[in-house]
Structure 1
Amino acid sequence: MNADIRSTTAALRERPQADVLIIGGGINGVATFRDLALQGIDVALVEKSDFLSGASAASSHMIHGGIRYLENGELRLVHEAVTERNDLLTTAAHYVRPLRTTVPIFSTFSGLLSAPLRMVLHRKTASTERGALLIKVGLIIYDSFSRGGGKVPRHTFHGRRRSLRALPDLNPDVKYTATYWDASLRDPERLGLDLVRDGIAVGGSRARAANYVSAAGVQDGKVVLRDEESGEEFPFAASVVLNAAGPWTDLANRALGDATRYMGGTKGSHIVLDHPELMQATGGRELFFEHSDGRIVLIYPLNGRVLVGTSDLEHDMSEPAVCTEEEVDYFLDLIGHVFPTIPVDRSQIVHRYSGVRPLPGHGDMAAGFVSRDYRIEEAILPGSDRVSVLSLVGGKWTTFRAVAARLTDELMTRIGRERVRSTKGLPIGGAVGFPRADADRDEWVHQHLSDFGLERGTRLLHRYGTHALAVATALRQDDDDAPLSTLPRFSSGEFRHMATSESVVHLDDIFLRRTNIGFRGEATREVVEEVAYAVSDVMGWDAATRRSEIDRTLAAVHAADPVAV
């Protein structure tokens, strides 16, 4: 399937009705949009900002079963997540790859008594450290969930000498390392965009998705939609409404006239470092471990950088989520805990970001023990006696397909329809026909993109999956396509193609969600200005608008930086 993703705000106004209206274009919203479109349902999706710009953009870039949730007793969730992880290694092979994960362990028996208490009491106990025996038991259970369909190797355990031979810069106090496999998610926003693209491709005019459109109120049993760019409002009728606004679910319901209190999300922040020595020290694997306060944290090589995270702090949704200096201190300290001889400081941070997890309200329960599972709440749209509003509470990146399948079944029940197609095992977007072996990728590039040369063709395949065919067609037709002088691994034509086919509204959409330029810390003023000039004509920007978009992008990319750009 292949289709352009264009702004469909006008299409929503022209035909202001659908069987299902989805509020929220995060990963669970767009996955449900695709699933409903595959069932032939007339579905519309609106997102107040850009697609995948909220909680879904602030993840740790992993597809994982959540081994630490075993300690919370969430066996059903872990089993489902491991199953979905295995599936995504095939169905999203262009962006999801196996990830070797190593746990440094500094004790043998610690945690054997306190872990069961933590599971029951949902709070920290006197001893928070997990020892080798406890971790071994957890990994045996974790591996068992992959039985009969495992796509990754089983875990291994090594003592101090062998551990330091594999990772020489590791803290010499380490007693053991445990190594298991999960999966990395290289470009989560592009995977989400592929889900939108799939839905539009199969649904045509019956599958409409618009970014920068919000649900602003209710009028005569209809949802009032607001174009966030023009300010125009119009009523939209739906048989059933899905609120998939993530941590903003209560705020979206409040806009619809229902003051729910379902959510209690916690803030998670990350920093991204350009640090070759630290990158080398990881040995190409994720380090996943317990810090001194009992928090599970990670050091993770990704996209030529090192990702470090994450925090787990209570957050007021009326305030913006930003990575604070205190959190940065915490991250630098945790690096020193694992790699004490490698100096790291703020000068090596090229990007930082923060988001709020869509967790349920949890009262006095410790943030780390709040369930990552999901549930569905139902109400009636105010002013209507028959329009149901289903609110998704919870959910995590890895389980988006399973969550969407359950939501789709629930939604179709309410409109009297039955599922006609399963999404399990169905490739997503650019994973269709994607060659997974290196030799096969070289052959694919030679067969389809030989005129671009092996290096550039491979880069296009890596960046877009098999959607590289559509990108290549656009580039061949763009007489002005040329490598950027400021960032030669991209070309001007690529950005023009994004601007015209991927529902780009603002320049920062490109830097933060259509590419990983912002993540890698490459969004300098010079790069931003060159891209702005490349897309100005196709975006219809005059000189004043272009300057405004440049300023907006620099502010967005560097929002958490301690000094002004």
Structure 2
Amino acid sequence: MGLKDSSGHTNSATARGAERESVSRLRRRPKARVLIIGGGINGVGTFRDLALQGVDVALVERGDYCQGASGASSHMIHGGIRYLENGEFRLVRESVVERNRLLRIAPHYVKPLQTTIPIFSTFSGVLAAPLRFLTHKQQGKPKERGAFLIKLGLSLYDSFSRDGGSVPRHQFRTRQKALAELPMLHPGVKYTATYFDASVHNPERLTLDVLQDGEKAGGRASNYLSLASVRPNADGSSTATLRDELTAKEFTFTADVIVNTTGAWVDLTNQAMGAPTTFMGGTKGSHIVLDHPGLLAACKGREIFFEHTDGRIVLIYPMGDRVLVGTTDVDADMSEDAVCTDGEIDYFIDLIGHVFPDIAVNRGQIVYTFSGVRPLPRHDATQPGFVSRDYRIERRAQGGGAAVLSLVGGKWTTFRALAEHLADDVLAELGAERKISTAKLPIGGGARFPDSEAGIQQWIKTHMTAARDADRTAGLLTRYGTRAEEVIGYLDAGPDRLLRSTRELSVRELQFMAAHEQIGHLVDVLIRRTSLAFRGLVTGELLNEVAEALAEPLGWDAAGVAAEINHAQEVLKRHHGVEVHSLVA
């Protein structure tokens, strides 16, 4: 019977061929000083940090890396200007510092994002704001945030960027200038405020880069390994029973410290370890991706970030040739799959009309939907939008066995600082000291990444060949950063050909992914190793071609290939609103 992974996808547990190398490395030496459970960005970041300190660390993830909330984010690296009204000044300051830092150490994936707020009043919300700040509740009908409040917030926001800031300060525009810049905006706009944050177009690949940094430093990690149970040992360690979700085989693994970074599933993971907790109270956030040239053009390359009529802060922004629209914030039912509902889609279409009234949007222009559960703390009567986005670390002894550190909360932008904090707590448990800081350490393919468009073009020209044109070479740089040099070396070492269904992938590149990127399922390539699904580019022919190319390196027979195609169709339809009809192979 299949098991659900951290985002609700059902993993087939049919027997596979040879055991994966990532699992074999854990089975051959079934112990480590630290075992991290959960392969989202915070778990993976902590794994990297500890490995760089020389700690013997292992990580397991029951689904694929970055498959849960980390892969369902709004793709923003931001200071969180709206958290100011919650009084979370420490978090905003840390977020702005980390945003600036990621622009420097992960420039291959983290890019500056020009952001514009349309404003429809001057002083609205001035009286309601202090009450929201003090009570963290919305009293009565939402009061729109006017220009005065937004100006105040952006001025404070700018002040946090003074040390090491790398983005321009905010600017206000009057109605006339605002409509000259963005002519499709609602004609009732009074002002716009424009500032810079950052975006991450490939959060899944950034997570993979962080993971591989940790592996190169000596850490061991495997996806598709779930935690079945944990028992304490007399020597102060604990032994976990781990289950390979692809073969259904189990083995034991012993550690001195266990770190629970399973996000919204922290309480369920602690329950599996025999010590139930009630730390979490996650909220669901959904998004849609549109193929809509008119909306894309209206955004003029910038994110539109604004307050909808219900007081919820929402966003519209271009990602390549697609437009991302989000997000909702409703209490999550952990017994149900997190999927984007018809009601949420109606909400998104309505919010687009709130800002761009002359742009028609319909369901047929949606190419992808996604939803995740934010790993927020339990919040009881506090409304979802006011729940803290900050994090804390809960410690307990595992019945005389290993200490268990549970991460409650955490957001994408602060993952490096959070990982440093969590790693320091682990080092204290081990009686060890920090050897290296990650604050200035480039992440993966961000090392030596060209710092200008001219530099990027020169890199592309240098790595082109007669068989690999500029577009294909640029695509490799986008996907891997400067790690593309390693990929290119692999591609050039044997015969290769582009797929018939897309010029973005070749047979040999898929073999590289199979050998170096821990692919467990066909759908991992479509959603997390590439952006093909996100952009609505998955076809029946593509499913067949990718499955066939992966069959030999991953040991899939004809029945396995058919099962993987069926599994990919099911995941895309059920969780992402995408229906793909396969072809007869």
- TM-score > 0.5, shorter chain as reference: yes
Please point out which of 321, 332, 335 is paired with 2:352: 335
**More off after superposition, 523-532 vs 397-406:** 523-532
Describe how 1:175-190 pairs up with structure 2 within 5 A.
175-190=190-205
Matched AA of 1:19: R
Describe how 1:256-275 pairs up with structure 2 within 5 A.
256-275=273-292
RMSD across aligned positions (CA): 1.3
Please point out which of 497, 517, 528 is paired with 1:482: 497
Q: Is 1:498 aligned to residue 510 of structure 2?
A: no
Please point out which of 120, 134, 139 is paired with 1:106: 120
Aligned-partner SS, 1:22: strand
Aligned-partner SS, 1:216: strand
TM-score by length of 1: 0.96
What's 2:134 paired with? 120
**Cα offset, 1:449, TM superposition:** 4.1
**Cα offset, 1:43, TM superposition:** 0.2
> Cα–Cα, structure 1 residues 478 and 558, in superposed 2: closer, same or farther, change >3 Å?
farther
Matched AA of 1:468: A
**Cα offset, 1:336, TM superposition:** 0.4
Aligned-partner SS, 1:409: helix
Q: Is 1:284 aligned to residue 298 of structure 2?
A: no
Matched AA of 1:16: P
Which stretches in structure 2 are left out of the alignment for 5+ residues? 1-19, 234-238, 581-585
Matched AA of 1:110: S
Please point out which of 410, 416, 434 is paired with 1:419: 434
Please point out which of 31, 39, 46 is paired with 1:32: 46
Q: Is 1:215 aligned to residue 215 of structure 2?
A: no
User: In the aligned structure 2, how far is the partner of 1:278 from the partner of 1:89?
Assistant: 27
What's 1:9 paired with? 23
User: In the aligned structure 2, how far is the partner of 1:122 from the partner of 1:202?
Assistant: 43
Matched AA of 2:387: V
Matched AA of 1:315: A
**Cα offset, 1:527, TM superposition:** 1.2
Aligned-partner SS, 2:318: strand
* Identity of matched residues, %: 56
Matched AA of 2:350: D
TM-score by length of 2: 0.93
Q: Is 1:509 aligned to residue 514 of structure 2?
A: no
Please point out which of 284, 300, 310 is paired with 2:327: 310
**Cα offset, 1:229, TM superposition:** 1.7
> Cα–Cα, structure 1 residues 214 and 349, in superposed 2: closer, same or farther, change >3 Å?
same
Deviations 1:468-511 (A, max 9, x none): 011101111231x2122111232222212111110001101101
Matched AA of 1:75: F
User: In the aligned structure 1, how far is the partner of 2:184 from the partner of 2:97?
Assistant: 34
2:32 touches 2:255 (CA, 8 Å); kept in 1?
yes
Aligned-partner SS, 1:78: helix
User: In the aligned structure 1, how far is the partner of 2:352 from the partner of 2:471?
Assistant: 34
Deviations 1:283-317 (A, max 9, x none): 00000000000000000101320000000011111
Which stretches in structure 1 are left out of the alignment for 5+ residues? 1-5
**Cα offset, 1:454, TM superposition:** 2.9
2:42 touches 2:418 (CA, 8 Å); kept in 1?
yes
**Cα offset, 1:80, TM superposition:** 0.1
Q: Is 1:553 aligned to residue 568 of structure 2?
A: yes
Please point out which of 91, 111, 118 is paired with 1:97: 111
1:37 touches 1:200 (CA, 8 Å); kept in 2?
yes
**More off after superposition, 142-151 vs 437-446:** 437-446
Deviations 1:26-76 (A, max 9, x none): 000000000001000000000010111111010000100000000100000
Aligned-partner SS, 2:574: coil
User: In the aligned structure 2, how far is the partner of 1:115 from the partner of 1:524?
Assistant: 49
State how many pairs are aligned. Answer: 554
**Cα offset, 1:436, TM superposition:** 2.1
Describe how 1:160-179 pairs up with structure 2 within 5 A.
160-179=175-194
What's 1:3 paired with? none
Deviations 1:387-416 (A, max 9, x none): 100000000000000000000000011011
Please point out which of 252, 267, 270 is paired with 1:235: 252
User: In the aligned structure 1, how far is the partner of 2:553 from the partner of 2:254?
Assistant: 33
Aligned-partner SS, 2:385: helix
Matched AA of 2:368: H
Describe how 1:37-436 pairs up with structure 2 within 5 A.
37-126=51-140, 127-203=142-218, 207-221=219-233, 222-382=239-399, 385-436=400-451
> Cα–Cα, structure 1 residues 7 and 67, in superposed 2: closer, same or farther, change >3 Å?
farther
Q: Is 1:19 aligned to residue 33 of structure 2?
A: yes
User: In the aligned structure 1, how far is the partner of 2:419 from the partner of 2:578?
Assistant: 41
User: In the aligned structure 2, how far is the partner of 1:47 from the partner of 1:294?
Assistant: 36
**Cα offset, 1:148, TM superposition:** 2.3
Deviations 1:249-275 (A, max 9, x none): 001000000110000000000000000
Matched AA of 2:231: Q
User: In the aligned structure 1, how far is the partner of 2:442 from the partner of 2:251?
Assistant: 36
**Cα offset, 1:560, TM superposition:** 3.9
Matched AA of 1:396: K
> Cα–Cα, structure 1 residues 563 and 225, in superposed 2: closer, same or farther, change >3 Å?
closer
**Cα offset, 1:18, TM superposition:** 0.5
Deviations 1:122-155 (A, max 9, x none): 1112442100000000000000000021111100
Matched AA of 2:476: L
2:232 touches 2:398 (CA, 8 Å); kept in 1?
no
User: In the aligned structure 2, how far is the partner of 1:246 from the partner of 1:147?
Assistant: 32
User: In the aligned structure 2, how far is the partner of 1:159 from the partner of 1:299?
Assistant: 21
2:370 touches 2:576 (CA, 8 Å); kept in 1?
no
**More off after superposition, 120-129 vs 413-422:** 120-129
User: In the aligned structure 2, how far is the partner of 1:128 from the partner of 1:265?
Assistant: 25
Deviations 1:226-262 (A, max 9, x none): 1112222222111100000000000100000011000
User: In the aligned structure 1, how far is the partner of 2:247 from the partner of 2:549?
Assistant: 24
**Cα offset, 1:562, TM superposition:** 5.8
What's 2:4 paired with? none
Aligned-partner SS, 2:192: strand
